[in-house]
């Protein structure tokens, strides 16, 4: 008798452990560990994952073990390393193991639980027979029935005439399409083409078949290429000219991307020194971590490509991470242009089917190069030799929902277990990474000159908008100098990027008569004005309402739009300089699939003069014609209640400044600010990371913040403010006495945004250097104390949080 350990698809504290099941002989196959199964669990049937073989110890001998009902996968969808990683990560981030497994896998592998109704035996009721329409079982979806029908169904269930059952549907079915293949020999085609009975449309089809003796074609492809109707194709199949069959649909997201072939560039001395260091670690299979601090335009991507090539030449695999989807188009172009091998792309913008197909091909060892955002770190790349994390300072590498993992944290674990080199790259490394490099935990590699010969960092000028306001006596978003330079750039045939890290038209709407500001009914936030959709929107819960024409409080029509967003900047700039061709890149304008790629391609082809956008435009983009970057308001993040506010401001300004002057033509940057003396802004203008690092480290040391202290955040939220507040107080009473005396506890307090989507949020911040009591206390808090909380109160634990808002 074979018994196995199964993690079931039920994310609760009581079920967060492997359960033992019998694997029947008729389900046994060579590889079953890492496969999905359907198992009985209580009175339910659940999806499960076989994570290990189990042993029949004395305790289990006395138990009546259940059998696995069915094996879903013919071969594992999780390799051994992924299973070990899921176990470690669940403990590290205080999550349930099944949630970690589901985060690792594409959505298509998740269970789809379906409700069905079965008619009881020997039931003879006309209404019931009509409902079931001659079937023994029917799918049950309340939306399909009227309230009267639902009432009848509930009555039938209560009487035992109808039995509700559950089943598990599959999302991972391979999609197949109808294709046609030529069945005629060349001579047969010639004979048919000259027959009198052959119509003009049929002759067109025969002409197509004569030039395409082999291969499969869809009906749409034949119709478009041969200029024939679908009916002609169907008749040709009926006559035996074409053979119909179903083939698996190729859902490769990179199939349509075919950039021109590129070749390795000559590395300068600094680039070569970086390459040599990392190459040696790859060759020696050392699990070593490098921090590459290279100024913008220093050719970090070229180093990445040549290191990936070396890794592939050695027969190993590589993962390249970028922080967000907006950075993948240009990176994909560069990687595809360099490598002949098939490349996998993994990010949330793909369809479920595309992600599943990419995962399966990586698992089958058909693909050894993976590019993607945060979740791509879980890709089951065989014999992993290199992990590159570009723009390593970005907070997007940390998942803020459960499971709260960091891609960097996972990368280091995989490095330890694969003998892979890790390369963290950035022009503005996070303080935590740079501090680790100072201590020798990471090896620091530096590049302080641009890769293109003769290309220099752009000249940066700060415009004091306080003085501009005093001169202009208006709240204009554009200083005269910025407008003049945009106009001059257009005349010179060059392009401009404008950054404002706030989308929408205006920050909020206000009645000038009574001061009323519309707020979201679900959150403690004012609504943002969007003129393109003529609505007020909440960017947190998605609530929206029409723009009022009169004040709902005092009925005044003196309504003013306050603040500035990207939509307003685009509209105002078009009014001031109508000759400009402007494209806006933000979350609103790039919702449509493929729109971001199209806008970037069009901008690179000089179809636009100016690109206006949020932080999407600040990172990783490389346009040789961009010689001017303007920052509309550099202060947007400075006053946020977050100790990283200055660091994030410095990084964003440095990164966007680096988009200018990346070819031999000199670039310039104009930063508009109401706080020009702030060190984050002035040092970003100087492009002086070293001085910023020392300054910010000084302030962090004074305030006992990271990287001098580690930080953990305990949060509680619930629909009732009083109940949630009581819960966080009880949490504090439980936690504080158990921690080391040197550990600092802040709070509990309401979060900066205290209400979101009709839930109230409270938090405690724990700052510690070494506290052996912390993890045991947090585990006890989660395992025992959390069970005492009301059902609608949720507790979460986040180590190394990236946001406190």
Q: How confident is the model at residue 175 (pLDDT cuts 50, 70, 90)?
A: low
Q: Is the pLDDT of residue 108 over 60?
A: yes
**2-102 homologous superfamily:** PriA, 3(prime) DNA-binding domain (3.40.1440.60)
* pLDDT score for 474: 58
CA distance 205 to 196: 15
* pLDDT score for 713: 96
Average pLDDT on 240-251 reads 79
- Is the CATH number 3.40.50.300 carried by domain 269-447? yes
**710-799 homologous superfamily:** Ribosomal protein S10 (3.30.70.600)
Of the listed ranges 77-91, 146-160, 357-371, 378-392, the one predicted with least confidence: 146-160
Q: Is the pLDDT of residue 8 over 90?
A: yes
Average pLDDT on 446-472 reads 85
CB-count burial class (<10 Å; 0-12, 13-18, 19+) for 750: middle
CA distance 276 to 175: 45
Q: How confident is the model at residue 417 (pLDDT cuts 50, 70, 90)?
A: very high
What are the distances in angstroms from CA 293 to CA 298, 305, 307, 439? 10, 17, 17, 15
Show me where the domains of the chain are located.
2-102, 112-170, 176-248, 269-447, 459-506+563-700, 710-799
- Model's pTM, two decimal places? 0.86
Sheet holding 421-426, edge to edge: 343-346, 369-372, 317-321, 384-390, 421-426, 289-294, 443-447
What is the rounded average pLDDT for all residues in the chain?
A: 89
Query: Which structure tokens are listed for 361?
Result: 């091909």
Q: Is-contact 740 772, C-beta < 8 A?
A: yes
Q: Is the pLDDT of residue 424 over 70?
A: yes
Report the chain's C-alpha Rg in angstroms. 31
* pLDDT score for 58: 63
Query: Could you tell me which of 194, 195, 198 has the C-alpha nearest to residue 235?
Result: 198
Q: Of 215-219, 226-230, 598-602, 626-630, give the range with the top mean pLDDT.
A: 626-630
Q: Is the pLDDT of residue 343 over 80?
A: yes
Q: Is-contact 421 443, C-beta < 8 A?
A: no
CATH number for the region 459-506+563-700 comes to 3.40.50.300
CB atoms within 10 A of CB 758: 11
CA distance 461 to 525: 34
Q: Is-contact 171 41, C-beta < 8 A?
A: no
CA distance 352 to 345: 13
Of the listed ranges 198-202, 214-218, 580-584, 778-782, the one predicted with least confidence: 214-218
* pLDDT score for 475: 60
Q: How confident is the model at residue 144 (pLDDT cuts 50, 70, 90)?
A: confident
Residues 6+ apart with CB under 8 A from 500: 477, 564, 565, 566, 569, 612, 613, 614, 631, 632, 633, 636
* pLDDT score for 173: 62
What are the distances in angstroms from CA 300 to CA 304, 401, 450, 571, 736? 6, 31, 10, 36, 46
Average pLDDT on 541-555 reads 91
CA distance 791 to 744: 30
Write out pLDDT tens, residues 683-738: 999 999 999 999 999 999 999 999 999 999 999 999 999 999 999 999 999 999 99
Q: Is the pLDDT of residue 307 over 60?
A: yes
Write out pLDDT tens, residues 9-50: 999 888 999 999 999 988 888 899 999 999 999 888 899 999
Enter the DSSP assignment of 622.
-
Enter the DSSP assignment of 67.
B
Q: Is the pLDDT of residue 473 over 60?
A: no
Of the listed ranges 165-179, 425-439, 566-580, 676-690, the one predicted with least confidence: 165-179
Identical topology for domains 2-102 and 269-447: no
Q: Is the pLDDT of residue 456 over 90?
A: no
Torsion of CA 582, 583, 587, 593, to 10 degrees: 160
């Amino acid at each position: 008798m074979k018994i196995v350990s199964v993690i079931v698809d039920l994310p609760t504290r009581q079920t967060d452990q492997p359960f033992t099941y019998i694997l029947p002989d008729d389900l046994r196959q060579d590889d079953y560990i890492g496969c999905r199964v359907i198992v009985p669990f209580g009175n339910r049937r659940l999806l499960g994952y076989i994570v290990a073989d189990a042993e029949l110890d004395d305790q289990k001998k006395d138990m009546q073990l259940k059998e696995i009902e069915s094996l879903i996968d013919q071969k594992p969808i999780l390799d051994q390393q992924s299973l070990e990683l899921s176990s470690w990560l669940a403990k590290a981030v205080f999550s349930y193991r099944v949630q970690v497994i589901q985060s690792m896998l594409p959505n298509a592998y998740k269970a789809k639980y379906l409700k069905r109704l079965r008619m009881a035996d020997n039931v003879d009721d006309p209404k019931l027979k009509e409902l079931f329409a001659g079937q023994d079982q029917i799918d049950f979806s309340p939306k399909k029935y009227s309230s009267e029908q639902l009432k009848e169904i509930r009555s039938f269930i209560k009487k035992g005439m109808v039995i509700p059952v559950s089943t598990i549907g599959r999302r991972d079915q391979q999609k197949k399409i109808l294709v046609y293949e030529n069945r005629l020999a060349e001579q047969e085609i010639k004979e048919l083409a000259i027959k009198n009975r052959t119509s003009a449309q049929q002759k067109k089809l025969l002409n197509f078949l004569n030039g395409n003796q082999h291969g499969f074609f869809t009906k749409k492809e034949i119709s478009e290429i041969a200029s024939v109707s679908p009916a002609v194709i169907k008749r040709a199949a009926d006559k035996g000219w074409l053979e119909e069959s179903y083939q698996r649909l190729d859902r490769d997201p990179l199939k349509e991307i075919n950039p021109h072939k590129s070749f390795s560039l000559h590395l300068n001395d600094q680039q070569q020194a970086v390459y040599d260091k990392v190459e040696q670690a790859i060759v020696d299979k050392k699990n070593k971590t490098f921090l590459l601090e290279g100024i913008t335009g220093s050719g970090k991507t070229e180093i990445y490509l040549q290191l990936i090539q070396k890794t592939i030449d050695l027969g190993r695999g590589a993962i390249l991470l970028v922080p967000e989807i907006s950075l993948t188009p240009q990176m994909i172009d560069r990687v595809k242009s360099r490598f002949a091998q098939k490349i996998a792309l993994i990010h949330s913008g793909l369809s479920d089917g595309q992600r599943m197909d990419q995962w399966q091909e990586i698992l089958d060892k058909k693909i050894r190069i993976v590019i993607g955002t945060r979740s791509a770190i879980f890709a089951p790349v065989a014999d992993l030799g290199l992990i590159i994390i570009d723009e390593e300072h970005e907070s997007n590498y940390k998942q803020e929902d459960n499971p709260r993992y960091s891609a960097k944290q996972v990368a280091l674990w995989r490095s330890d277990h694969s003998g892979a080199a890790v390369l963290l790259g950035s022009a503005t490394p996070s303080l935590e990474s740079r501090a680790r490099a100072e201590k020798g935990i990471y090896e620091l590699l530096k590049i302080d000159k641009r890769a293109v010969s003769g290309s220099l960092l752009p000249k940066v000028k700060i415009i004091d908008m306080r003085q501009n306001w005093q001169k202009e006596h208006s709240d204009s978003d554009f200083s005269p100098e910025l407008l003049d330079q945009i106009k001059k750039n257009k005349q010179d045939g060059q392009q401009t990027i404008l950054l404002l890290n706030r989308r929408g038209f205006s920050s909020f709407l206000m009645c000038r008569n009574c001061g009323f500001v519309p707020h979201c009914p679900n959150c403690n936030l004012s609504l943002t004005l969007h003129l393109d959709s003529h609505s007020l929107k909440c960017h947190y819960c998605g609530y929206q309402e029409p723009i009022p024409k009169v004040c709902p409080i005092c009925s005044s029509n003196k309504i003013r739009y306050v603040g500035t967003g990207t939509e307003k900047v685009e509209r105002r700039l078009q009014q001031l300089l109508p000759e400009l061709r402007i494209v806006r890149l933000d979350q609103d304008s790039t919702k449509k699939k493929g729109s971001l790629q199209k806008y970037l391609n069009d901008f690179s082809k000089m179809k636009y003069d100016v690109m206006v956008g949020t932080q999407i435009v600040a990172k990783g983009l490389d346009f040789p014609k961009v010689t001017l970057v303007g920052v509309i308001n550099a202060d947007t993040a400075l006053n946020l209640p977050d100790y990283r506010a200055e660091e994030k401001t410095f990084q964003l300004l440095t990164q966007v400044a680096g988009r200018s002057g990346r070819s031999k033509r000199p670039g310039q940057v104009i930063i508009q600010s109401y706080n020009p003396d702030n060190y984050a802004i002035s040092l970003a203008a100087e492009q002086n990371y070293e001085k910023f690092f020392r300054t910010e480290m000084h302030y962090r040391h004074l305030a006992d913040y990271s990287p001098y202290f580690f930080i953990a955040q305990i949060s509680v939220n619930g629909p009732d403010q009083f109940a949630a507040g009581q819960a966080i107080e009880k949490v504090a009473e439980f936690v504080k006495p158990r921690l080391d005396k040197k550990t600092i506890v802040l709070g509990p307090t309401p979060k900066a945004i205290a209400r979101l989507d009709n839930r109230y949020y409270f938090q405690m911040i724990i700052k510690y250097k070494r506290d052996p009591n912390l993890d045991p206390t947090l585990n006890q808090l989660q395992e025992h104390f959390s069970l005492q909380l009301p059902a609608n109160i949720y507790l979460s634990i986040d180590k190394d949080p990236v946001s406190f808002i």
